[in-house]
Amino acid sequence: MRRRLVLAALTATVALVAACESERAIITSPAGARAYGTTLGLASTNLPRGSVRFPAPATAPSTTLDSVVVTLLGLDSLADARYVVWVVDSAATTGQPARFRRLRGIVTQTYTDTVTNKLGDPEGQTYVQTFANVDSFNLRTAAAAPTRQGIGARTVTRFVTNRALSGLAVSDSIQTILVSIEKDGAATTPSATRRFLWARRADAAAAVAIGGRNTRTGSLVFGNFTVNRDSMYVFTPGGSGRVYVRDDVIIVNDSSLPRPPLGFYYATYALKRDSVNAAIDTIFLGAQHSPYPRRNISLIDADSVQADPEAQVDVIPSNYPGSWARPSPRAILFASTRASSDTIAALVDPKGKKFAGIAQIFVSLESKNALQGRLGPAIVFRADLPNIVRNPPQNPPQ
C-alpha cells in the first residue's frame, strides 16, 4: 500500500511539473521596423498641352496669311525621336482615307530658369532658341544635370507656319493640327501609336479679328488621335494612391489610373532635397508593375496591351457617348512600384542613412521615346514624405 502511495505521489509530481508552465505567451510583440505612409495627391502638372491659333484672312484664302501657330508645353526632350506637326485633312471625301501633310515652319523655344544674381537673390532667366524652316524639333537635354528632371517643364515651344512654308495650296484644308512623335525623319504619315496632341479647327473658339485676320484658337487635346472622332481617347488624369516606407523598402501603390495614351507609361520617382530644401536629385524608382504577388509583370506597355488581365480592365471613357469599339482603353485598377535602398544607392546618403533627404515621391507620365530614368515634366501624383523619413533619426525606433 505504501509503495502504491509513493508511486501515485511521484506520478502526480511529474504531472504537476509538466503542466505548470512558467512562461506564457505575451499577447502582442512588435515585429520589425515601423512603416510610414502618406497619400499621393493628384497633381496633374505639366501634362503635354497647348493651343493652336488659326489666323486666316476674312476674305479669300492666302498662301501667306493662312497661318497656324502651335504653342506647346509639357513636352519632354526625346532620346530617339523628334516631334512633328501635321495637318490632317479630316474633311476629305467620305470613304477616302484621311490625308496627312507634314508641316514645316519656324520653331521658337523659350526656356525659363531661376538663377541666383550677384546679390544672391533668385531671379528668372530666359533662354530663347529659334530654328527656321524645320519639319521636326526636339527639346535640348539638360546636359549639365542629365539625371535630373528634363527641361520640358520649363520650356514653351512655339511652332509657326503658313501655307507657303508648308507647301499647302489654298485649296488644301487646314482642319486639324496633330503633333506626333516620329523616329523616321522622313515620315509622310504620323506614327499610329504616337499621335498624342491635336486640335480641331471646328472645336476652336469663334473667330476673333486680330490684325486684319480672323483668328480662331483651340486647345490641344492630349490622348490618342484618330480621324474618327468616336474612337479618340482623351487622357484625363485620375486615381489615387499611397506611399509607404519601411526600413529599406519604399512601396508606391496606385489605384484606378486611366490608361496612359499610346507611347506613354507611368513611372515613379523620388525627389531628393538638401538641407536648404533645394532639389538636388530625382531618383528613378521604376516603371509601374502589378502589385504583389505579380510584381514581375511590368505595366510599361499598359498603353497598348493588356499586360496583366487582373490589373487592367476595359473602361469606357466618360466622354464617349456610345459603345466603345475595340481596342478599348484599359484602365489600370491597381499598380505598384517597390524599390529598395539596398539596390538603389542614391536612396542612401553618404552616412548610410536610408531615404535621408528624400522629400517627395512623384508618379509621372513618361514618354517611351524619352530617356528612361530621367523625370519628365508630366507629374500625375505627388506626395510629401513624412519628416521622419526625410530626416531619419540617429537610432531609428524598432
Partner 1 sequence: MTLSSYHSSPKAILTRAAVAALVMAGGASAIDAQVAVHQFSITTRAGGIHFDRAASLKTAALLGLDAEYSLTRNFGIGTSINVSRPNTRAEDFLSVLTFGLGATGDTTLFVQTGQSVSLIEGSIVGVGRFPAGRFTPFVLGGGGLYGMFLDPEINAGSRRMSGISGTVGGGLAVRLSDRAGIQFDARDLVFTKYRASRLDPTGQRSPNTIFIEDFPAAPSRKETVHNFMFSLGFRYLPGGAPQGGGRGEGSGT
Does position 309 bind partner 1 by CB under 8 A?
A: no
- The letter for the amino acid at 296 is N
Q: Is 382 helix (H, G, I), strand (E, B) or coil?
A: strand
Contact 163, 186 (CB under 8 A): no
Q: Which x/- pattern, by CB under 8 A, does the window 247-286 give for partner 1? A: x-x-x-x---------------------------------
Q: How far apart are CA 393 and CA 120, in angstroms?
A: 32
Contact 368, 356 (CB under 8 A): no
Stretch that binds partner 1, among 31-39, 54-62, 68-76, 325-333 (CB under 8 A): 31-39
Does position 121 bind partner 1 by CB under 8 A?
A: no
Q: How far apart are CB 192 and partner 1 at their closest, in Å?
A: 39
Contact 334, 291 (CB under 8 A): yes
Contact 249, 339 (CB under 8 A): yes
Q: Which of 97, 146, 238, 386 binds partner 1 (CB under 8 A)?
A: 386
Q: How far apart are CA 272 and CA 54, in angstroms?
A: 43
Stretch that binds partner 1, among 16-24, 94-102, 269-277, 342-350 (CB under 8 A): 16-24
Contact 125, 112 (CB under 8 A): yes
Q: How far apart are CB 388 and partner 1 at their closest, in Å?
A: 8
Does position 1 bind partner 1 by CB under 8 A?
A: no
Q: How far apart are CA 180 and CA 155, in angstroms?
A: 18
Q: Which of 34, 183, 229, 294 binds partner 1 (CB under 8 A)?
A: 34
Q: How far apart are CA 223 and CA 101, in angstroms?
A: 20
Q: How far apart are CB 283 and partner 1 at their closest, in Å?
A: 20
Does position 351 bind partner 1 by CB under 8 A?
A: no
Does position 14 bind partner 1 by CB under 8 A?
A: yes
Q: How far apart are CB 289 and partner 1 at their closest, in Å?
A: 13
Q: How far apart are CA 398 and CA 388, in angstroms?
A: 13
Does position 99 bind partner 1 by CB under 8 A?
A: no
Does position 31 bind partner 1 by CB under 8 A?
A: yes
Q: How far apart are CA 313 and CA 301, in angstroms?
A: 14
User: What's the length of the chain?
Assistant: 398
Nearest to 384 by CA among 34, 36, 42, 39: 39
Q: How far apart are CB 344 and partner 1 at their closest, in Å?
A: 17
Stretch that binds partner 1, among 9-17, 48-56, 65-73, 165-173 (CB under 8 A): 9-17
Does position 294 bind partner 1 by CB under 8 A?
A: no
Q: Which helix (H) or strand (E) holds 130?
A: strand 122-134
Does position 19 bind partner 1 by CB under 8 A?
A: yes
Cell of 33: 521596423
Q: Which of 293, 309, 321, 350 binds partner 1 (CB under 8 A)?
A: 293
Considering beta carbons, is residue 6 or 210 the nearer one to partner 1? 6
The footprint of partner 1 on residues 321-350 (CB under 8 A) is: none
Q: How far apart are CB 21 and partner 1 at their closest, in Å?
A: 6
Does position 396 bind partner 1 by CB under 8 A?
A: no
Contact 364, 337 (CB under 8 A): no
Does a cis peptide bond (omega within 30 degrees of 0) precede residue 327?
Answer: yes
Q: How far apart are CA 177 and CA 202, in angstroms?
A: 11
> What phi and psi, each to the nearest 5 degrees, are found at residue 81?
-160, 175
Q: Which of 21, 60, 115, 278 binds partner 1 (CB under 8 A)?
A: 21
Q: How many residues bind partner 1 (CB under 8 A)?
A: 43
Q: Which x/- pattern, by CB under 8 A, does the window 234-253 give for partner 1? A: --------x-x-xx-x-x-x
Residues that bind partner 1 (CB under 8 A): 3-4, 6-7, 10-11, 13-15, 17-19, 21, 23-39, 242, 244, 246-247, 249, 251, 253, 292-293, 385-388
